Amino acid sequence: MSEIPADLRYSKSHEWVRAEGDLVIVGITDHAQAALGDMVYVETPETGDRLKAEEACAVVESVKAASDIYSPTSGEIVDSNSNLVDNPELVNDDPYGDGWIFQMRTDNASALEELMDAEAYETFCEEE
Amino acid sequence: MMQQTELNQIHRDADGKMVDFAGWDMPLHYGSQRDEHHFVRQDAGMFDVSHMTVIDLRGKAVRRFLRHLLANDVLRLKAPGKALYSCMLREDGGVIDDLIVYFIDEQYYRMVVNAGTTEKDVAWIESRLVDGIDMRVRDDLAMLAIQGPNARQKAMQAMSEEMAWIADEIAVFVGAFCDDWFIARTGYTGEDGFEITLPETEVADFWSALVRESVKPCGLGARDTLRLEAGMNLYGMDMDESTSPLESGLGRTVAWEPAERGFIGREALEQQEAKGVERRFAGILLEDKGVMRAHQKVLTTEGHGELTSGGFSPTLNRSIGFARIPKGDSVACDVEVRGKRLKARIVKLPFVRNGKICIEL
């Protein structure tokens, strides 16, 4: 069974979101990393990129395939995880910690309320 | 309903991530595809390849028949047990399948063909079969590939003393029977090792014995990255019925001599050769960061081509692939990866052999 921390929010495309005010950290879930397999490359967004909600903004490539990462909300990229350039396996080893992918400042914090909580995401994974 | 090998439950018990491979329920990996890859390069790993098909051909006319059926010439096989890689072609030169054929004796050859092509292969062979040949599809057999620098030694420790004694004597690209087991020193990884064909009733015990000798179970994912590094073609990706061996890097497996041997597809290949083959098949090494995948576009100064296989090489820590590109001398090229043009280099295959990197990085 994959790990689903109770204090995060989740998207249907398997990103997790940690929000503190209008600052939002995004990564992919344990369930997603396990399904994708060993990561070999991560392409992160550029600081300053402006995103719409559900816009493809990063790519994780595993030994198996490439997968888009979608922005959970609209806003601007303020940071991305440069450690992933040389250590993409951090996404496998610590998906909710050192494997975070980018940080953004949202202009629509209330939209985050519409994402799933841990319980709903667990049900979502089981049904998928 | 997907087909299962005899080891299906064992793969599931070992946490194998099961996927549909050509209608077979097979393990992609057992946790980490990358670790499994390194294990084969550095020590010993094993693959359940029982989905592949063994076809035994016996009879007085069998050698003559195979000299007609296959693009490579079984007459090259002199020593009993010797193996030959060959394409089986259509009349128009398209590749029906690639296979290994073993010369057991004058009236007995054994072929190993791909899982996904078994049905059409058997139909093709049957439609051309002549009197005096008995063809048997051996679905009573399982097959394991044990590969890596320590694979032979560990495999022999898992065998009876008598069998290990026989196995120890087997030369590269040769197979030998020990009762109803067939032990061949062949593989699809670029490492030393065995491919062992045995009764499926005995495969679970042998698999367990290999696990006790610390041979690591490996899935089809690692098998693919290993063969890619080793510069070995995969049927359906790197060649198929719409491509000829001459534009798939397999020209050296077509035996032109003797000129009077009329194998199926010969005329078509001769015409291609006379006209000049316009595309070459080469290795591609990505210089930029990213991962190349099959069917992405390759741009050279002579024109553009396409990746037939692509992926990430754990040994090189870079992305590698094979491509069919216009003939020429260019070395530098670009590859279109997800809307971006990345820098890459055309290289001679293989990328890796016997644990050693064969190209300049």
Which of A41, A63, A66 comes nearest B34 by C-beta? A63
The Cα A84–Cα A12 span in angstroms is: 23
Q: Which residues of B touch A65 (CB under 8 A)?
A: 293
User: In which residue ranges of chain B is pLDDT below 50?
Assistant: none
% helix, strand, coil for chain B, step of 5? 25, 35, 40
B221 and A63 within 8 Å at the Cβ level: the answer is yes
- Give the whole-angstrom CA distance, residue B97 versus residue B87: 6
Q: How far is A32 from chain B (nearest CA, A)?
A: 14
Residue A128 above 90 pLDDT?
Answer: no
Nearest CA in chain B to A86: B289
Which of A37, A40, A41 has the CB atom closest to B29's CB atom? A37
Task: Note the pLDDT tens digit of each residue in B333-351.
Answer: 999 999 899 999 999 999 9
**DSSP category for residue B149:** T
Contact between chains at A85 and B290 (C-beta distance less than 8 A) = no
pLDDT tens per residue across span A16-71? 999 988 999 999 999 999 999 999 999 999 999 999 999 999 999 999 889 999 99
How many other β-carbons are positioned within 10 Å of the β-carbon of residue B241? 16
B245 near B270, Cβ under 8 Å? Answer: no
The CATH T-level fold of domain B8-47+139-229 is Gyrase A; domain 2 (3.30.1360)
User: Which chain B residues touch A38 with a CB distance below 8 Å?
Assistant: 32-34
**Radius of gyration of chain B measured on its C-alpha atoms:** 20
Query: Given B29, B291, B338, which is nearest A40 (Cβ)?
Result: B291
Among A37, A41, A85, beta carbon nearest to B291: A41
Choose the closest CB to A41 out of B28, B29, B290. Answer: B290
| Per-domain residue ranges of chain B | 8-47+139-229, 278-357
- Start-to-end CA distance of chain B, whole Å, equals 45
The dihedral of CA B37, B41, B44, B47: what is its sign? positive
Alpha carbon distance B76, B99 (integer Å):
16
B293 contacts in chain A (CB < 8 Å): 65-66
Please, what sign has the CA dihedral across residues B294, B299, B300, B303? Answer: positive
Cβ–Cβ below 8 Å for B289 and A64: no
Q: Which residue of A has its CA nearest to B33?
A: A38
Sequence-ordered list of residues with C-beta below 8 angstroms from that of B317, at least 6 positions apart, any chain: none
* Probe site for chain A from B20, B33, B335 (most A CB atoms < 10 A): B33
Question: Among B321, B314, B194, B332, which residue's Cα sits nearest to residue B249?
Answer: B321
Top CATH class, B278-357: mainly beta
Query: Tell me, what's the pLDDT at A1?
Result: 66
Q: Which amino acid is at B185?
A: R
Mutate to test the interface with B, among A2, A60, A61, A62 (most CBs of B within 10 A): A61
Name which of B33, B289, B290 is nearest A63 (Cβ-Cβ).
Answer: B33
Q: Give φ, ψ of B136 to 5 degrees.
A: -130, 125
Name beta bridge partners: B83. Answer: B102
Asked if B65 and B58 touch (Cβ cutoff 8 Å), the reply is no
Record: contact A63-B290, CB cut-off 8 A:
no
The answer for A 50-79 residues in CB contact with B (under 8 A) is: 59, 61, 63-66
Question: Which residues in chain B are closer than 8 Å to A87, comparing Cβ atoms?
Answer: none
Q: Which residues pair with B222 in a beta bridge?
A: none
Chain B contact residues (CB < 8 Å to A): 17, 28-29, 32-34, 221, 225, 289-291, 293, 311-312, 314, 319, 338
- DSSP assignments along chain A, one per residue: -----TT-EE-TTSEEEEEETTEEEEEE-HHHHHHH-SEEEEEPPPTT-EE-TT-EEEEEEESS-EEEEE-SSSEEEEEE-GGGTT-TTHHHH-TTTTT--EEEEES-GGGGGGSB-HHHHHHHHHH-
State which fold the A9-118 domain adopts: OB fold (Dihydrolipoamide Acetyltransferase, E2P) (2.40.50)
**Chain B contact present for A93, CB below 8 A:** no
CA B185 to CA B239: how far, in whole Å?
25
In angstroms, what separates the C-alpha of B195 from chain A's closest C-alpha?
25
pLDDT reported for residue A25: 97
Closest CA to B32 of B217, B230, B309: B217
**For an interface test with B, which of A2, A33, A38, A60 has the most B Cβ atoms less than 10 Å from its Cβ?**
A38
Residue B58 CB burial class (10 angstroms; 0-12, 13-18, ≥19): middle
Per-position b or e across B80-108, b if 16+ CB within 10 A of its CB: ebbbbbbbbbeeebbbbbbbbbbbbeeeb
A111: confidence class by pLDDT, cuts 50, 70, 90: confident
What is the reported pLDDT for B217? 98
User: Please, what is the end-to-end C-alpha distance for chain A in angstroms?
Assistant: 14
Give chain A positions within 8 Å (CB) of B314. Answer: 63
| B-chain residues near A59 (CB < 8 A) | 338
User: Chain B contacts of A37, Cβ < 8 Å?
Assistant: 17, 28-29, 32-33, 221
